[in-house]
Homo-oligomer: A and B are copies of this chain.
Amino acid sequence: MLPFTVEFRTGLSLYQQLVYAVQKAIVSGQLLPGDRFPSVRKLSQELRINPNTAQKVVTRLVDQGLLEVKPGVGTMVARLPEASPRERSALLDHEAEALVVEARRLSLTLGQVQQAVQDHWNGLSEVSVNARENPGKEGSK
């Protein structure tokens, strides 16, 4: 029973997809700062992957500041760290450009791209709202 969902697809490495799934769960509010995060042994069991692969996922997310660990205790979701201006401009300069190049290659329109961006933005915000209702239910257990 993991607090995030992941559908494995071909073309991307397992650990990349897992890192992304957790990032998504965090930015959407499905996972909140202070929440307990499953141990690498639980991750590897549930996902049927090697513990070292699970550990690699956690290490990457720790490096990004999304998770924090206490040796012997476990892992929990951290507060979203302040992003560096460098990272931000890299996304706006490079990743956004790559999306646009790809969109133009597929003959999509600017409007379609912007609409998709907005839809995803709103979709993640809706999850955030739902997530705040669900923790209340869990608190009653």
What is A's interface to B at a CB cutoff of 8 Å? 20, 23-24, 26-28, 64, 66, 80, 82-83, 87-88, 91-93, 95-108, 110, 112-114, 116-118, 120-121, 124
| Alpha-carbon distance A95/B95, docked complex (angstroms) | 10
Number of copies: 2
Q: How far is the CB of A114 from chain B (nearest CB, A)?
A: 5
Complex partner residue of A99 from B64, B93, B99, B107, CB under 8 angstroms: B99
Given the interface pairs A23-B101, A101-B27, A116-B92, the reply to whether A110 lies near B121 with Cβ below 8 Å is: yes
| Alpha-carbon separation in the docked complex, A76 to B116 (Å) | 33
Contacts of A83 in B (CB 8 A): 105-108
Which 10 residue pairs are nearest across A and B when measured between Cβ atoms? Answer: A27-B104, A83-B106, A96-B116, A92-B116, A100-B120, A97-B120, A110-B121, A24-B101, A88-B106, A27-B105
